[in-house]
């Protein structure tokens, strides 16, 4: 080993929510770790991205860093009302007395990803985990004895295990020779955050609204979800739309004004357009069972069902658990086996999540006559049969079946 080579038991590439969770989960198991992050400390993580944080995720965060889950619960909100409209007519409206359930951790909370990440950064500082900013991982060489990592500034690292949590464009994934397989949504989606300081847990009208073929969006599907301090506005482009043009400031202000009301016209905080990729790596681990992929480095999902960050947190916790057992193993074969089990579990979970998000996408974009007819019929029956409206309300989100790995509840 060269004199300037740094040595640490486990390296995490990427300080997104998944990398930070991995580091906290390793620390909780008594394992020393360091995060290498490509961007500078004062980076701008604009755009809230994940807002829907599942109860399972909150419980995991609370377990690995007591107070982290409950802090997010305090920061976030639980909307009690689900409402759906179809071409301007309400077809479903239900308010729950106790939408979060009982206990400290609700079924979900709605909190912007930037806030979640800030709490994670604070938790890392709390337990003294280093983030090496401006340390872009450029090479990853694994062998049966460990991994050698080099960052763009020329620093070399030697470590037992690497967790690649370096996002969709993952260098770690490419370095281990894994490839993304899958496809992309046909339609683009416009996603915006609209500021509304009045939105918090005590607000009287917290509702998630889905509007099929909304007249005020010229027949596009519209989703509105509240989070602390604002609203997530999601507009599904039509097939012939030019997403660049529609996401211009001027056009988005018009959308906001027409959909939400004039008082919101100047409250647009952030907007972006996406074609959602539906892909997963063909292997979540390297040949030597020393490098594990987690989060978006391993899989990219359309956000219907909110499985992206949530499943990334499950990856992170299970990666830490597998590494913890592997580090203590007296036999190499046992260590290898544990890492392989990680891959088997998380690849199964990713397939399940991709399938669920894919079904939701197909349903939303589906122009096939059966899907169109089912929606029309359900909307026409919603007045007499609540289940018809409930089906319309529920269908855009997944997953609808039970999770594939029942023992852990993680998926
Ligand atoms: C519009 C939208 C809405 C969403 N809504 C939800 C939701 O409601 N719920 C949900 O669960 N998910 C949601 N998601 C998905 C969620 O945002 C992502 O799954 C999540 O950010 C992935 O986290 P990550 O840590 O894997 O990757 P990232 O957040 O991309 O973090 C990767 C990190 O690695 C760093 N990096 C990259 N390359 C290198 C390198 N070579 N070396 C070192 N560091 C590197 C990057 O700078 C970054 O900090 C949504 C996504 C979008 C786009």
Q: Give the domain CATH number at 342.
A: 3.50.50.60
Q: Is 359 in the pocket of ligand 1 (CB under 6 A)?
A: no
Q: Which residue, 224, 252, 274, sits at the end of a domain?
A: 274
Is the residue at 264 inside a domain?
Answer: yes
Average pLDDT over residues 341-356: 94
Query: Residue 403 above 70 pLDDT?
Result: no
Closest ligand 1 atom to residue 189 Cα is 1
Domain count for the chain: 2
pLDDT in tens, 359-400: 888 888 777 888 889 999 999 999 999 999 999 998 887 666
Do 243 and 231 share a domain, yes or no? Answer: yes
Is the residue at 54 inside a domain?
Answer: yes
Q: Is 308 in the pocket of ligand 1 (CB under 6 A)?
A: yes
**Strand partners for 278:** 183
User: How far is ligand 1, taken at its centre, from the CA of residue 18, in Å?
Assistant: 7
pLDDT of residue 2: 43
Query: Which residue's alpha carbon is at the smallest distance from atom 15 of ligand 1?
Result: 308
Q: Which residue, 245, 274, 303, sits at the end of a domain?
A: 274
C-alpha 190, offset from chain centre = 17
Q: Centre a 10 Å sphere on the Cβ of residue 58 and count the other Cβ atoms it contains.
A: 26
Is the residue at 407 inside a domain?
Answer: no
Do 211 and 264 share a domain, yes or no? Answer: yes
pLDDT of residue 120: 98
- How many angstroms separate the Cα of 230 from the Cα of each of 119, 192, 193, 196, 227? 19, 10, 7, 4, 5
Do 281 and 269 share a domain, yes or no? Answer: no
User: Taking all residues of the chain, what is their mean pLDDT, rounded to a whole number?
Assistant: 93
Is the residue at 86 inside a domain?
Answer: no
Closest ligand 1 atom to residue 17 Cα is 25
Do 268 and 288 share a domain, yes or no? Answer: no
Query: Residue 18 above 50 pLDDT?
Result: yes
User: How far is ligand 1, taken at its centre, from the CA of residue 230, in Å?
Assistant: 21
pLDDT of residue 248: 95
pLDDT of residue 251: 95
Do 134 and 231 share a domain, yes or no? Answer: no
Do 243 and 201 share a domain, yes or no? Answer: yes
Query: CA 320, CA 327: separation in Å to the nearest integer?
Result: 10
Average pLDDT over residues 163-186: 96
pLDDT of residue 3: 47
pLDDT of residue 408: 59
Helices (H), 83-129: 113-127
- How many angstroms separate the Cα of 302 from the Cα of each of 11, 133, 357, 406? 28, 29, 6, 23
User: How far is ligand 1, taken at its centre, from the CA of residue 303, in Å?
Assistant: 12
Do 177 and 229 share a domain, yes or no? Answer: no
Is the residue at 392 inside a domain?
Answer: no
- Distant-in-sequence, close-in-space partners of 5: CB < 8 Å, separation ≥ 6: 156, 157, 158
DSSP state, residue 217: G
Do 244 and 299 share a domain, yes or no? Answer: no
Record the tokens describing residue 282, joined without a space: 């063909």
Record the tokens describing residue 66, joined without a space: 């007591």
Do 238 and 350 share a domain, yes or no? Answer: no
Provide the pLDDT confidence category of residue 91 given band limits of 50, 70 and 90.
very high
Average pLDDT over residues 196-222: 94
Q: Which residue, 316, 342, 361, sits at the end of a domain?
A: 361
Do 130 and 11 share a domain, yes or no? Answer: yes
Range of the domain at 336: 5-76+111-184+277-361
Query: CA 373, CA 337: separation in Å to the nearest integer?
Result: 49
Do 246 and 115 share a domain, yes or no? Answer: no
**DSSP SS3 for 33:** strand
């Amino acid at each position: 080993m060269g004199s300037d080579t740094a040595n640490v038991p486990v390296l995490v590439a990427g300080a997104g929510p998944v990398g930070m969770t991995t580091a906290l989960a390793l620390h909780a198991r008594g394992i020393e770790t360091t995060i290498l992050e490509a961007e500078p400390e004062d980076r701008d993580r604009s755009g809230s991205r994940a807002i829907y944080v599942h109860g399972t995720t909150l419980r995991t965060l609370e377990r690995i860093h007591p107070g982290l889950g409950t802090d997010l619960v305090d920061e976030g909100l639980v909307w009690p009302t689900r409402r759906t409209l179809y071409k301007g007519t309400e077809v479903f409206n239900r308010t729950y007395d106790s939408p979060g359930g009982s206990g400290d951790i609700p079924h979900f909370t709605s909190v912007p990803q930037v806030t979640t990440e800030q709490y994670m950064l604070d938790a890392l500082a709390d337990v003294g985990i280093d983030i090496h900013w401006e340390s872009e991982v450029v090479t990853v060489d694994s062998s049966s004895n460990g991994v050698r990592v080099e960052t763009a500034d020329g620093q070399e690292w030697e470590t037992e295990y690497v967790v690649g949590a370096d996002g969709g464009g993952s260098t770690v994934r490419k370095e281990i020779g894994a490839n993304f397989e899958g496809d992309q949504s046909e339609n683009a989606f416009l996603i915006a955050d609209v500021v509304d300081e009045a939105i918090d847990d005590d607000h009287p009208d917290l509702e998630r609204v889905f509007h099929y073929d909304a007249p005020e969006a010229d027949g596009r599907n519209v989703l509105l979800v509240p989070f602390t301090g604002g609203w997530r506005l999601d507009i599904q482009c039509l097939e012939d739309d030019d997403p660049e043009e529609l996401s211009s400031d001027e056009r988005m202000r018009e959308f906001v004004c027409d959909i939400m009301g004039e008082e919101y016209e100047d409250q647009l905080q952030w907007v972006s357009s996406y074609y959602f990729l539906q892909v997963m790596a063909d292997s979540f681990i390297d040949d030597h069972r020393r490098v594990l992929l987690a989060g978006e480095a391993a899989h990219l999902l359309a956000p219907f069902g909110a499985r992206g960050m949530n499943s990334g947190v499950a990856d992170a916790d299970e990666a830490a658990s597998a590494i913890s057992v592997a580090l203590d193993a007296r036999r190499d074969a046992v260590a290898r086996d544990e890492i392989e089990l990680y891959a088997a579990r998380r690849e199964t979970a990713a397939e399940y999540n991709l399938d669920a998000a894919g079904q939701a996408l197909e349903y939303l974009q589906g122009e096939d006559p059966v899907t169109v007819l089912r929606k029309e019929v359900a909307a026409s029956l919603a007045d007499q049969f609540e289940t018809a409206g409930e089906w319309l309300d529920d269908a855009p989100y997944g997953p609808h079946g039970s999770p594939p790995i029942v023992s852990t509840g993680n998926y």
